[in-house]
Structures are given as structure tokens and as C-alpha cells.
Amino acid sequence: MKKYSLMILISMGSIWAQQTIIHAGRLLDGTSKKAVSKRSILIEDGKIVDVVKGYKKGKSDDTIIDLKEATVMPGWIDLHVHLSGEMNPKAYGEDFYMNIEDVAYRAVPWVEETLMAGFTTVRDLGGEVMLSTRNAIKAGYIKGPRIYSAGRSLGTTGGHADPTSGLNRKLMGDPGPLEGVVNGTDDARKAVRQRYKDGSDLVKITATGGVLSVAKNGQNPQFTEEEIKEVVKTASEYEMFVAAHAHGVEGMQRAIRAGVRTIEHGTLMDKETARLMVKHGTYYVPTISAGEFVYEKAKNPGYFPEIIRPKALAIGPVIKETVGMAYKTGVKIAFGTDSGVSPHGDNADEFRFMVEAGMKPIDVINSATSVAAEALGADDLGQIKKGMKADIVAVPGDPLKDITVTKNVNFVMKGGVVYK
């Protein structure tokens, strides 16, 4: 009878289970406004089973990880990346000589760099090949962050996400919902259903013009409000959120009223738009890193096509001021970089840029943890507490005193597995 009882205890995952125990000298749990010291994080089967005061010794077969000299946080979440590419002076010609397999293999080191930089989860907003990369990471074929992929972005004819914009007339053709081009509510519905069929986790629309598209206007509204409402409605029916690229006010306001989950960039946001976001509970993903990058590169003739340079020079310097205004207005700000415009692996630069924009360091850290998880709809990410996935990063020093230490990640765990 005693032996039988012991077998029951083991099968139920009792106190006999082997644990990984992290000794955290300083802990930011992802939601609190201050750090606590001397905590032990108990991990089993890829999940956090408890967080206790002091440094728990554990049993003889437990694994102890000593981070007593570090600040420990939930794994960071970047809500806006493009892992299938990285901006360079030749980027606008790549589609003519790279096959989709080339794009997929090229992304392998970038996804690993992103993980090693402390970003255990990302949203990839516009890259069909990332659906396969996401699956390869899940299967353990390659190392990388947990990816939520939008697949192909949705745009309008001639709009920011029209894949044939800027080509000669023989190559332009007339792409439609299959390629992500929407004109009318029927197209909108079909395009969302196609993203679902492709296996996308969410939908991305380009509600306004963009800085890096080969078109003169970077801020005009490019979807009707009715089209966006149909995108949001259909996406909701398929249990997907909608992210909206937007620079100009009118396009932003249409997207907010239509019910999108996040506004990406939001560069020219005014106070009225910020208040509208607060009213609707819309999240703001600023991507200051991209603005900084394109502004600097646009100073170099030849780096971008000439039609892009004036947009980059005008919009790049505005984003920090916009973020400061949105923060003071009470908009929910979630972390995102637009990496792929800026270099992969440098995602943590965004922490510094957000602080420079006027955000408190603790709010910046939380924007990349619990707030980003909320925007994703992921209730098991972004916090260090019982029941959460064991996604954990650590840095030397105190990021609340010096936010730049986030560039020096010395420990990365995703799903209970140590990668760094």
C-alpha cells in the first residue's frame, strides 16, 4: 500500500519532481512598480510553480542557477519585428534575386540573435516566410523566440503593403486578397480568411502610407473605416487581433474607432487621437528604433530611393515627442522596435529611447513584459509568478537606475530551457 501511494504521488507531479531554482538578487516581476530582493523562482516542466523569499536550497537533484548579482525579469516581448529581412542599400532589389528559401535561411541567425538579446517572444508583422520559421522554432529545429506571425500584411492598391508598388507596369499586375491587397469589404473579409488559412496568428493592416514604401505619401489614410471594421470583425470571428501600421491622424482614428488592437508607429498622433486610444483601450507600439535608424540613414544619399528620403527625414525625429505625449495622456504603451528596419539583435536600444522620450524606466520594462503580453492576449507570459511560462532574462546592474544595462543580457531562459 505504501509503494502504491508513492507511485500516485509521483504521477501527480508532487514534491518529488525535479526543479530548476533561480536565485534572483533583484527581481522585477513584470507588473510591480519596484524591485524586490533575494527571491527564488521555482520552475518545473517549463513553468513557474512558485516564487519564494530568500534563496531556497533545493534537493540534491535540483538545478540551482545563481543570479544573485543580477536583475531578473520576465523574458522581454517585442511586438513589432520583421525577421525576414534587414534594411540595407540593396534591400529594394532583393525580391528580384532571392527565393523564399533564401529568405528563410537568412533569417536563422537573426532569430537566434533576437533570442540572445533577451527577447523570448516577438510579433512578426509582415513576412510570409515567418510562418514556417515560427513552426521550425516550435519544433526545435532552430533556436529563436516564440513567434506570433501575421503572415502577409494587408494593404490597398498602391498602398504601403501592396507588394507591387514601385515596379514597372509589366510587373505591377492587379494583386488581390491572396497577395494581401484589399479594395472593399468583400476583399477585406477574404483577405483575413486567407491569412487564417495560411496559419497566421494575427492580422496586420497598413492603415496609412509608410515611410519606406516607394510612394510619395507616408501618412495618408489608405483604408476606409468600413474596410477596417470588416477586417476587425472577420479577424475576431477567427480569434485573431488586428495590428494597424499608421503614421497620420485620420488613418489612426479610423483604425481606433474600428477596433484594432494596436497602433504601430503612431508618429503624428495628436492629443485628440491619444485620448481616443485611451477611450477605446487601444495599445500603442511606438517603434522609436526605426525612426532613429531611418532618420540617420536618410542623411546618406543613395541609401534609400530618393522618394523615401524626405519622408524619413521628416517623420524620424518626431516619434520621441509623440511617445512622451501619449505617455502623459495615459495611452497603454507596449514595446516594439520594427527591427528589420533597425538591425536585429539591437532591440534593447528601444528601452533607452523610451526613457529618453520621458517614460519612467519601470514603465518601460513593464511595457516589454506584462503590457506587451496583454496586447498579445497571452495570459501566461510577461510576469514572474506561479503558472506563467518560465521565460526569464537577467542583466548585470539595475535597469531602474541605468536603463542601458538592458543591452548586456547575461541570462536567457525560454520555456524553462536555458539558452544563454
Residue 16's pLDDT is 54
C-alpha cell at 317: 525625429
Give pLDDT, residue 124: 97
pLDDT of residue 14: 42
pLDDT of residue 298: 87
The pLDDT value given to residue 288 = 96
Q: What is the pLDDT of residue 8?
A: 34
- Where are any strands of DSSP class E within 248-349? 262-265, 283-285, 332-333
Contact status, residue 63 vs residue 402, Cβ threshold 8 Å = no
Looking from the CA of 130 toward its CB, the CA atoms found within 13 Å total: 28
| pTM of the predicted model as reported, rounded to 2 decimal places | 0.93
Check residue 95 and give its pLDDT: 75
**Strands 242-246 and 283-285: what pairing?**
unpaired
pLDDT at 164: 66
Per residue in 80-106, pLDDT (tens digit) is: 999 999 988 887 777 777 888 999 999
Q: Which residue has the cell 524586490?
A: 36
CA 247, 250, 253, 257: dihedral to nearest 10 degrees?
A: -130
Question: Count of residues for the chain?
Answer: 420
141-152 pLDDT, tens per residue?
999 999 999 999
- pLDDT under 70: residue ranges of the chain: 1-16, 164, 167-168
Domains of the chain from N-terminus onward: 2-74+383-418 (2.30.40.10), 76-347 (3.20.20.140)
